């Protein structure tokens, strides 16, 4: 079994997550080099993981012939550019979402990836969560019949810093985009129209930054199914991530994961753990699983499960959601796509 050599571009929080998963949980790979303008900040954990190749210039990774694949974990605004360069250098690509906030730029980058014939996997890690995947697989196997209603509750434990909010493209493109992908994944069908209700409930500063922090979004699918997503930037009880798929033959749902299964029976109530705190804890297994799937696709020469189109379509949906919220009407995907 040939070792797959990987370069990681970006050693921030998400770069570190992928580095840890690759080193610890993915057999047959080597993290050959990491690149980041501030790579020195990562010395401690790079040492601990035994990753020796380090550079401040990602082009060094792209130029390195022995490297088979790159993980693009840099700031969003650089994703499309690096993707294009990596594709031209013949590297297989794992790219964190979103590819870009600009639809035209995303299309262009995907075009190049296609021309170059490299593999591209998008970082929609939640698809690899064991519970969500089981719901999808069992739905796809017909356990609930044709899907009628999908419900996704997706609430962060606390809002990001205002500076982050300002550059994020807005909640629909930054946070809900994961839920749009999940809705497509569960429905096995494409979204045709969107209605978004939203509000500023958590922090007025988010509103002043032109964004919202609370939303209820309705989706219509080609299949005739409908979905509803509810979002909040601040769930005091932790990271609330639940899904539900309903059809004529039954309902599948996945409740939150908790640190332990301990219950306390006390004088006032029976209490159990609140959900795992945030995405690093909740989706730890999912991060490992998505990297194993990516490496397996490279090894088997197959198409990754989550690829370019999966980066583009949620962007359409998110854009439509933003417009729906602002114009208080249903917005079709065709309307957004056609532009």
Q: What does the binding site for its own copies look like in residue numbers (CB under 8 A)?
A: 24-25, 27-28, 48, 130-131, 134-135, 138, 143, 146, 148-149, 151, 153, 155, 195, 197, 199, 201-202, 214, 216, 218, 220, 224, 226-228, 230, 232, 234-237, 240, 246, 248-275, 328-330
The nearer residue to its own copies, 40 or 255, going by C-beta atoms, is: 255
Minimum CB separation from its own copies for residue 230, in Å? 5
Angle subtended at Cα 105 by Cα 164 and Cα 15, rounded to the nearest 5 degrees: 45
DSSP output for 120-133: EEE--GGGG-HHHH
Q: Is 46 helix (H, G, I), strand (E, B) or coil?
A: helix
Maximum distance among all Cα pairs of the chain, rounded to whole angstroms: 66
CB 59, min distance to its own copies, A? 30
Measured CA distances, 334 to 142, 192, 193, 217, 330 (Å): 29, 7, 8, 18, 12
Please identify, using beta-carbon distances, which residue of 72 and 217 lies nearer to its own copies. Answer: 217
CB of 262 to its own copies, least distance (A): 5
Neighbours of 302 (CB within 10 A): 11
Place of tokens 């690899």: 128
HSE, CB side, 13 Å, CA atoms: give it for residue 174.
20
* Least Cβ distance, residue 302 to its own copies (angstroms): 22
* Tokens read off for 289: 């699983």
Computed on alpha carbons and rounded to an integer, the radius of gyration of the chain in Å comes to: 20
- CA atoms within a 13 Å half-sphere pointing along the CA-CB vector of 325: 22
Q: Least Å distance between CB 111 and its own copies?
A: 34
Which is nearer to its own copies, 163 or 261 (by Cβ)?
Answer: 261
Token pair belonging to 69: 């694949």
Q: Which is nearer to its own copies, 98 or 157 (CB)?
A: 157
* C-beta of 9 vs 191, nearer to its own copies: 191
Among 211, 241, 237, residue whose Cα is nearest residue 229: 241
Closer to its own copies at the Cβ: 80 or 217?
217
- CB neighbours of 40 closer than 8 A, spacing ≥ 6? none
- Return the number of the residue (236 or 309) whose C-beta is nearest its own copies: 236
* Least CB distance to its own copies at residue 275 (A): 8
Kindly tell me which of 76 and 176 has the beta carbon lying closer to its own copies.
176
Shortest Å, Cβ 253 to its own copies = 5
CB of 168 to its own copies, least distance (A): 20
In sequence order, what are the residues at sequence separation of 6 or more whose Cβ sits closer than 8 angstroms to the Cβ of residue 338? none
């Amino acid at each position: 079994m040939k070792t797959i050599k990987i370069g990681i571009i970006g050693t921030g929080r998400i770069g570190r997550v992928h580095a840890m998963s690759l080193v610890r949980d993915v057999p047959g790979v080597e993290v050959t080099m990491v690149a980041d303008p501030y790579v020195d900040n990562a010395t401690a954990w790079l040492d601990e993981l035994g990753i020796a190749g380090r550079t401040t210039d990602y082009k060094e990774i792209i130029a390195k012939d022995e490297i088979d694949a790159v993980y693009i974990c840099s700031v969003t605004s650089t994703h499309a550019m690096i993707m294009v360069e990596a594709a031209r250098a013949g590297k297989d690509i794992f790219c964190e979402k979103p590819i870009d906030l600009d639809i035209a730029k995303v299309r262009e980058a995907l075009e190049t990836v296609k021309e170059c014939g490299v593999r591209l996997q998008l970082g929609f890690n939640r698809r690899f969560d064991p519970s969500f995947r089981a719901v999808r697989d069992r739905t796809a196997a017909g356990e609930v019949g044709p899907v009628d209603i999908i419900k996704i509750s997706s609430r962060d434990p606390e809002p990001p810093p205002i500076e982050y909010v300002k550059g994020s493209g807005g909640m629909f493109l930054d946070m809900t985009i994961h839920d749009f992908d999940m809705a497509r994944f569960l429905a096995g069908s494409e979204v045709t129209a969107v209605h978004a209700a939203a509000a500023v409930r958590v922090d007025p500063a988010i509103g002043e930054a032109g964004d919202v922090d609370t939303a209820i979004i309705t989706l219509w699918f080609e299949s005739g199914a409908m979905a509803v997503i509810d979002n909040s930037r601040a769930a005091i009880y932790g990271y609330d991530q639940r899904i539900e798929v309903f059809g004529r033959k039954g309902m599948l749902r996945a409740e939150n994961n908790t640190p332990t299964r301990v219950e306390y029976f006390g004088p006032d109530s029976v209490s159990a753990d609140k959900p795992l705190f945030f995405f690093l804890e909740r989706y730890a297994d999912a991060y490992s699983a998505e990297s194993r799937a990516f490496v397996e696709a490279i090894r088997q020469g197959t198409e990754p499960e989550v690829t370019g189109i999966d980066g583009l379509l949620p962007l359409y949906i998110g854009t439509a959601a933003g417009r729906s919220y602002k114009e208080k009407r249903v917005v079709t995907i065709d309307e957004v796509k056609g532009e």
